[in-house]
């Protein structure tokens, strides 16, 4: 930079005006804000959110509980005679996930040997906040199965 | 009976006329009328403007930062200031246990009061055409500019006291920074005002605007340098970005008002924004021709005269405020020593040189 | 009227005021301070605003991660690494799985190597964006924060589409990767790296030439190359001091041997140079992502996971594997003992090492500079404390 230009630059504050121009242009640009409760971003297909369990598919192998790095899955089952087939089958007594500690790493889903998976996280549900800490945070078998993987608000609820 | 007042009664609205009749002319013109003007200015103009300035700042900053700003309380967030004020009013007001109580309580008042007092000499409209009518200012004192500088200086005591009395090291540092900064920027700011004063030949704020009308030019043109100095010093004096060191949140948590909460904090906030408007209003008066329309000398623009002077004034002030906010959205913050260096090594000599050159030109023109 | 600070000394009715009696004041900067990037605490000795002593106190975010590693099989530890440097989970994952692969002796298929490189470079971009955003806001420039996070959001969207998480990715496994790319991912990624250089120009327009930014950063916290090497500083901080050491070039891992990129090096070692180096690195990362995406189609349909047993058993051996993370060399030192768990796992965190330079850098500067310096060391306390 020549001395003359440096001198001019010192007094004309060109660098400052360049910055002002950038922010000034942003004034008229499209805004990036997503107005959350009204507008929602759709989670990706692989998004790891709330759990869902399918008891029919589950073979009660305990692999998900073993694979969990923080041991928050508790499974109890008993053998029961199925009168239709005359064979003994495992019946799930308890399938609890301590969601307060879950870090949604997805290793339980990865460890599940059934095809399709009996436990999966891709329910696209991320609104897990509750007013009562035991309401959803400690998911038991019924809650996990009853959970339909729907968004926390239905369209009618949003419209309201 | 005050001379020249008879026949004015028709100008006054009915309620005021009744008041005048009841109180007598002397009491009305010397006490009641100014008091009413002050109250009207305060509660109808300054306080609403300040609260909505906060909203405007948040909105504009949002737009600069590709987001939308507050938009939840009321349409376009228009009720947001009311919600903010409600929240600040009902919030718990804490005083640190080892704070110096009287100073802690006094400090916010010392910040707000001077900032509001400045508006008493700022003319937002022309003097009334008929004597005794409603003029566009509360008072017009001969030493208006001097009064502005003197009163603005008091505000720094609030910052120092607030910073010192909180018994918090961050606050103390913020208070010290505020003191050093405001003192060093008052000098170039005051000197920057000398230029227009020399051109106008009067210190009365109204007189300066009228001088600009008579000179047919806004003083920003012949006094560009002093306008620039005044603006920079004004930003520094109001502790706004890029000179917001006393409350630099990333360095000093919140500077001098770290320990303040609730309404006391709101007063500091109010003081800052009132100061912003005051500095802008003074700049408008001295450099941008106050209530005059743009290009007061161009005859074919005279249809613009139907717009009241107060509107022109408000528009010009808003331009200044917008620039303030724009600065905040763009610039990093100066460091403390760099700020002082800028004030003493650049602005002060520049202001002195400007006075010298102005004097020379004035002498040469008068020759 | 007594001064407000200080407490009565026992046996004396006079209040001793450290502020006005002595020359120095002690200032506890953090852990609840807006500019300490988490829970760093600095005990400062200051004279006026000048820092004469700076003592970092760490451990407020200690979670015993290294001990946790010992308690879990190799593959379960990947999520724990996410939480160390939580703005750069992918590079943590990469360093850890690299160490495990070295220990167990797994060869990663080429497609997985390219994908890992892409993920690591995207992570570098997003980490540098967080750094730039917070660094700028510390120095008082508010707007770059929002601009940077706007682009970071796009990187995080790419991660979300790839592995389902945005921050704590858990996106790598010893031996390869858990998933292949979803459909349309490469196009999204291409759109990102095509737009991104223009966005960097925007940040630079706000900061690089700005006289205030320059005055705040040029000559502040100069780290000489010798001091940098002595302190074990790595990453952009080291390269800003003029030492062109980059593990991606020195010991190429993953696909770095197959792509062309420059290692930005500057001479002065001050805050401004560290800023320039990181900006330049973002541009280089964009190039690496582009090249890897061009190499990727040749391996379409190829395996993404090495042949490996379901339960990995570490042999009785010790390995160290370090990679060039966004903040410097992140390395894992793993000792195996024949069981599925590591016997010992030690982390070499770049933030921790770079933090060692802070007291030296801060000495003699003002409190305002300290904020800029904490920003320019780019520490993440989750990694410092582990």
Mean pLDDT over each residue of chain C, to the nearest integer: 85
Identify which of C137, C143, C146 has the shortest CB distance to residue B250: C137
> Nearest CA to CA, how far is A80 from chain C (Å)?
31
Q: Alpha helices of A27-159 — where are they, by DSSP H?
A: 63-67, 107-111, 141-146, 155-159
Give chain B positions within 8 Å (CB) of A35. Answer: 68, 71
Nearest to A31 among B66, B327, B329 (CB): B66
Order of strands across the sheet with C50-57? C25-29, C41-47, C50-57
Q: Taking CB atoms and an 8 Å limit, are A46 and C205 in contact across chains?
A: no
User: CA of A20: which chain B residue's CA is closest?
Assistant: B330
Whether C139 has its CB under 8 Å from any CB of chain B: the answer is yes
**Interface pTM (ipTM) of the complex?**
0.78
What DSSP element (H or E) covers A74? strand A73-82
User: Nearest residue of C to residue A124 by CA position?
Assistant: C164
- Tell the residue number behind the tokens 């003992």, with chain if given: C337
**Residues of chain A with C-beta less than 8 angstroms from the C-beta of C75:** 107
Q: How much is the average pLDDT of B34-63?
A: 82
Q: What does each C-alpha distance from B189 to B236, B314, C63 come to in angstroms? A: 10, 22, 54
CA–CA–CA angle B67, B68, B74 (5° rounding):
160
Mean pLDDT over B3-10 rounds to 42
Residue in A23, A30, A31 closest to B326 by CB: A23
Look over chain B and give the mean of its residue pLDDT values, rounded to a whole number: 80
Which span out of B94-98, C19-23, C259-263 was modeled with the highest average pLDDT? Answer: C259-263
Best of B250, B252, B330, B337 to disrupt the C interface by mutation (most C CBs within 10 Å)?
A: B250
DSSP H stretches of helix in C232-331: 236-240, 247-250, 271-295
Q: Is A130 helix (H, G, I), strand (E, B) or coil?
A: coil
pLDDT tens-digit readout, C212-262: 888 888 888 888 888 888 888 988 989 998 888 888 888 888 888 888 888
Beta-carbon separation of B63 and A26 below 8 A: yes
- Contact residues, chain B, for C19 at CB < 8 Å: 169, 172
Q: Mean pLDDT across the stretch B300-315? A: 74
Tell if the CB–CB gap between B63 and A22 is shorter than 8 Å. no
How far does the CA of residue B261 sit from the closest CA of chain C (Å)? 18
Contacts of A105 by beta carbon, 8 Å cutoff, 6+ apart: A48, A69, C78, C79, C82, C168, C170
How far off is chain A from C361, nearest CA to CA, in Å? 28
Q: Which residue of C has its CA nearest to A65?
A: C76
Looking at residue B135, what is its pLDDT? Answer: 66
Q: Smallest Cβ distance to B249: which of C4, C34, C370?
A: C34
Number of alpha carbons in the 13 Å side-chain half-sphere of residue C319: 19
Residues B202 and C369: their CA atoms lie apart, in Å, by 45
- Determine the pLDDT at residue B3: 39
Chain B residue nearest residue A36, CA to CA: B72
**Cβ A26–B65 below 8 Å, yes or no?**
yes
* Residues of B with Cβ-Cβ distance to C34 under 8 angstroms: 249-250, 253
Total-model pTM = 0.84
Which chains lie within 8 Å of chain A at 3 or more CB pairs, if any?
A: B, C
Mean pLDDT along residues A56-67: 83
Query: Which of 348-367 (C) contact B at CB < 8 A?
Result: 366-367
Q: Say if CB A31 and CB A39 are below 8 A apart.
A: no
As a whole number of angstroms, the distance between CA B51 and CA C96 comes to 54
Contacts of B66 in chain A (CB under 8 A): 26, 29-32
Nearest CA to CA, how far is A52 from chain C (Å)?
A: 16
* Cβ neighbour number for residue B305 with a 10 Å cutoff: 12
Say yes or no: C163 contacts chain A, CB-CB below 8 A. yes
Render pLDDT for C44-103 as a digit per residue (tens, 0 to 9). Answer: 888 777 888 888 888 888 888 888 888 888 888 888 888 888 888 899 999 999 999 888
pLDDT, position B358? 86
Q: Tell me how far apart the alpha carbons of residues C299 and C115 are, in angstroms, rounded to a whole number.
A: 11
- pLDDT (0 to 100) of residue C181: 83
Please state the rounded mean pLDDT for residues B285-295: 78
> Which residues are within 8 A (CB) of C341 and not within 5 positions of it... i.e. 6 or more apart?
C70, C71, C72, C73, C74, C314
pLDDT digits (tens, 9 = 90+) for A76-125: 888 888 777 778 878 777 777 877 788 888 888 888 888 777 777 777 77
Query: C155-186 as b/e, with b when 16 or more CB fall inside 10 Å?
Result: bbebbbbbbbbbebbbbbbbbbbbbbbeeebe
What pLDDT digit, counting tens, does each position of B192-251 carry?
Answer: 888 888 888 888 888 888 777 777 777 777 788 888 888 888 888 887 778 877 776 677
- For chain B, the helix, strand and coil percentages under 3-state DSSP, each to the nearest 5: 70, 0, 30
Instruction: Compare B129 and A53 and report the one with higher pLDDT.
Output: A53
* Residue B101 clears pLDDT 80, i.e. is over it: yes
Which residues in chain A have Cβ-Cβ distances shorter than 8 Å to C206?
A: 19, 22-23
Could you give the CA distance from residue A29 to residue B65 in angstroms, rounded to a whole number? 10
pLDDT above 70: residue C4: no
Provide, rounded to the nearest whole percent, the portion of chain B with pLDDT above 90: 0
| For residue C2, pLDDT beyond 60 | no
C85 in contact with B, Cβ within 8 Å: no
What pLDDT score does B1 carry?
A: 34
Q: Calculate mean pLDDT across residues C296-312.
A: 81
> Could B63 and A27 be called an inter-chain contact, meaning their C-beta atoms sit closer than 8 Å?
yes
Q: Which chains touch C (3 or more CB pairs under 8 A)?
A: A, B
Residue C164 three-state SS? coil
What are the beta bridge partners of residue C45? C26, C53
Q: Tell me what the mean pLDDT of segment B327-356 comes to.
A: 85
Q: Does B114 or A57 have the greater pLDDT score?
A: B114
Q: Do C143 and B65 touch (CB under 8 A)?
A: yes
Q: What whole-number distance in Å separates Cα of residue C133 and Cα of residue C152?
A: 10
**Contacting residues of C for B171, CB less than 8 Å apart:** none
* Local confidence band at C317 (pLDDT 50, 70, 90 cut-offs): confident
Contact C216 B251 (CB under 8 A): no
Q: Which residues of A touch C168 (CB under 8 A)?
A: 103-105
- pLDDT tens-digit map of C98-129: 999 888 888 888 888 888 999 999 999 999 99
* pLDDT exceeds cutoff 80 at A127: no
């Amino acid at each position: 930079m020549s001395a003359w230009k440096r001198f001019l630059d010192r007094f004309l504050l060109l660098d400052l005006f360049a910055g002002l121009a950038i922010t000034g242009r942003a004034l008229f640009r499209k805004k990036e804000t997503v107005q959350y409760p009204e507008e929602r971003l759709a989670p990706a297909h692989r998004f790891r959110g709330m759990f869902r369990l399918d008891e029919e598919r589950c073979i009660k192998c305990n692999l998900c509980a073993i694979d969990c790095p923080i041991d928050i899955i508790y499974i109890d089952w008993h053998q029961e005679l199925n009168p239709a087939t005359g064979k003994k089958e495992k019946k799930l007594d308890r399938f609890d996930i301590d969601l307060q500690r879950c870090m949604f790493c997805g290793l339980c889903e990865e460890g599940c040997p059934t095809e399709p998976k009996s436990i999966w996280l891709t329910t696209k549900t991320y609104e897990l906040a509750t007013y009562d800490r035991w309401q959803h945070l400690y998911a038991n078998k019924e809650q996990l199965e009853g959970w339909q993987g729907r968004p926390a608000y239905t369209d009618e609820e949003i419209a309201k | 009976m005050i001379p020249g007042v008879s026949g004015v009664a028709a100008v006054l609205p009915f309620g005021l006329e009744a008041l005048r009749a009841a109180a007598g002319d002397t009491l009305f013109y010397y006490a009641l009328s100014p008091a009413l003007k002050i109250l009207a200015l305060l509660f109808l103009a300054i306080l609403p403007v300040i609260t909505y300035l906060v909203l405007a700042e948040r909105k504009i900053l949002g737009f600069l930062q590709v987001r939308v700003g507050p938009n939840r309380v009321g349409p376009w967030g228009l009720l947001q200031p009311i919600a903010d004020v409600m929240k600040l009013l009902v919030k718990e007001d804490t005083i640190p246990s080892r704070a110096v109580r009287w100073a802690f309580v006094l400090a916010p008042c010392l910040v707000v009061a001077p900032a509001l007092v400045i508006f008493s000499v700022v003319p937002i409209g022309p003097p009334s055409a008929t004597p005794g009518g409603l003029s566009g200012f509360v008072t017009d004192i001969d030493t208006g500019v001097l009064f502005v500088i003197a009163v603005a200086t008091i505000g720094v005591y609030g910052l120092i006291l607030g910073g010192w009395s909180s018994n918090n090291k961050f606050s103390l540092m913020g208070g010290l920074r505020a003191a050093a900064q405001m003192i060093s920027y008052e000098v170039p700011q005051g000197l920057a005002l000398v230029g227009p004063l020399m051109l106008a030949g009067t210190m009365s704020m109204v007189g300066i605007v009228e001088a600009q009308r008579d000179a047919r030019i806004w003083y920003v043109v012949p006094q560009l340098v002093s306008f620039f100095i005044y603006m920079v010093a004004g930003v520094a004096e109001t502790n706004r970005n890029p000179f917001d060191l006393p409350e630099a949140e990333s360095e000093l948590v919140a500077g001098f008002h770290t320990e303040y909460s609730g309404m006391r904090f709101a007063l500091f906030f109010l003081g800052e924004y009132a100061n912003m408007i005051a500095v802008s209003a003074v700049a408008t008066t001295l450099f941008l021709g106050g209530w005059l329309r743009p290009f007061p000398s161009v005859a074919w623009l005279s249809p613009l005269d139907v717009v009241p002077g107060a509107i022109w004034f408000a528009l010009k002030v808003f331009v200044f405020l917008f620039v303030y906010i724009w600065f905040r959205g763009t610039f990093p913050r100066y460091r403390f020593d760099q700020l002082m260096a800028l004030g003493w090594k650049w602005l002060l000599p520049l202001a002195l040189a400007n006075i010298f050159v102005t004097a020379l030109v004035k002498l040469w023109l008068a020759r | 009227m007594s001064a407000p600070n200080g407490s009565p000394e026992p046996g004396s009715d006079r209040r001793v005021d450290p502020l006005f009696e002595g020359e120095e004041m002690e200032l506890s900067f953090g852990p609840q301070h807006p500019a300490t990037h988490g829970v760093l605490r600095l005990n400062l000795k200051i004279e006026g605003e000048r820092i004469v002593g700076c003592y970092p106190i760490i451990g407020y975010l200690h979670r015993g991660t290294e001990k946790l590693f010992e308690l879990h099989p190799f593959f379960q530890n990947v999520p724990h690494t996410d939480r160390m440097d939580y703005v750069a989970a992918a590079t943590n994952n990469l360093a850890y799985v690299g160490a495990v692969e070295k220990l167990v002796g797994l060869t990663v298929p080429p497609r997985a190597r390219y994908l890992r490189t892409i993920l690591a470079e995207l992570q570098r971009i997003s980490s540098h964006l967080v750094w730039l955003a917070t660094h700028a806001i510390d120095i008082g420039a508010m707007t770059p924060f929002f601009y940077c996070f706007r682009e970071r959001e796009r990187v995080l969207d790419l991660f979300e589409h790839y592995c389902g998480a945005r921050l704590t990715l858990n996106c790598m496994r010893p031996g390869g990767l858990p998933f292949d790319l979803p459909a349309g991912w490469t196009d999204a990624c291409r759109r990102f790296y095509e737009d991104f250089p223009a966005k960097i120009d925007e940040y630079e327009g706000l900061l690089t030439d700005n006289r205030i930014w320059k005055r705040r950063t040029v000559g502040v916290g100069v780290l000489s190359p010798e001091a940098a090497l002595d302190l074990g500083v790595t990453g952009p901080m080291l390269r800003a001091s003029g030492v062109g050491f980059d593990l991606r070039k020195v010991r190429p891992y993953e696909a770095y041997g197959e792509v062309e990129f420059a290692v930005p090096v500057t001479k002065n070692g001050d805050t401004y140079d560290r800023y320039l180096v990181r900006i330049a690195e973002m541009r280089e990362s964009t190039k690496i992502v582009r090249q890897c995406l061009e190499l990727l189609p040749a391996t379409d349909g190829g395996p993404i996971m090495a042949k490996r047993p379901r339960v990995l058993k570490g042999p009785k051996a010790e390995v160290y594997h370090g990679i060039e993370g966004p903040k410097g060399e992140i390395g894992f030192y793993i000792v195996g003992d024949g069981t599925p768990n590591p016997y010992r796992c030690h982390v070499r965190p770049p933030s921790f090492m770079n933090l060692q330079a802070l007291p030296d850098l801060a000495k003699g500067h003002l409190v305002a500079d300290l904020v800029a310096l904490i920003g320019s060391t780019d520490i993440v306390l989750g990694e410092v404390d582990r």
